[in-house]
Amino acid sequence: MIVAERKPLEALARMVEKCEKVLAVGCGTCVTVCFSGGRQEVATLAASLRMKRKLDGRPLVVDEALVQRQCEWEYIDPLAEQVKKYDAVLSLGCGVGAQTLAERFPATRVLPALDTLFMGLPTEQGVWEERC
């Protein structure tokens, strides 16, 4: 399993500073299991970015999507028309997922919202041991 963690909110806010409309895309596999890129984490990040920008007096539209696996084209292909409507896509997937989105949608700015840490084995609830 790939273990990842979300980049700090301030860093992500800087990444989308010039955007008006962003799509946050989660991944339903590894990063869901390690609590960094599943449905709940996408919703939390989207709400945090909207709130931060609203407080700064510059509203930001952040829509949410979740695919089963960002690392396989067949799962991200349904996003093809949707991503065209956004200034950027925030990938809440591992590095492979972010690269897959960027490769599949070259006209779209894809930004990695997570830092991939390691490949790991879950040894107990919420604990992963590095194995690579």
Query: Residues 47-74, buried b or exposed e (16+ Cβ, 10 A)?
Result: eebeebbeeeeeebbbebbbbebbbeee
Rounded CA gap, 116 and 102, in Å? 16
Averaged pLDDT, 88-105: 97
Which percentage of the chain shows pLDDT scores above 70?
A: 100
Whether residue 1 contacts residue 33, with contact meaning beta carbons closer than 8 Å, is answered with: yes
| Residue 44 pLDDT greater than 80, yes or no | yes
Domain range for residue 100? 2-130
Q: Hey, what's the torsion of the CAs at 63, 65, 93, 17, to 10 degrees?
A: -10
Rounded CA gap, 96 and 90, in Å? 14
- pLDDT for the residue 3: 93
Averaged pLDDT, 48-75: 96
At which residue do the structure tokens 């955007």 appear? 19
Tell me the two tokens of residue 130: 């590095």
pLDDT per residue as tens digits for the range 104-113: 999 999 999 9
Q: Report residue 124's pLDDT band, with 50, 70 and 90 as the boundaries.
A: confident
Q: Report residue 127's pLDDT band, with 50, 70 and 90 as the boundaries.
A: confident
| Residue 132 pLDDT greater than 80, yes or no | no
- pLDDT for the residue 1: 83
CATH of the domain at 87: 3.40.50.2300
Q: What domain count does the chain have?
A: 1
Q: What is the DSSP letter of 8?
A: P
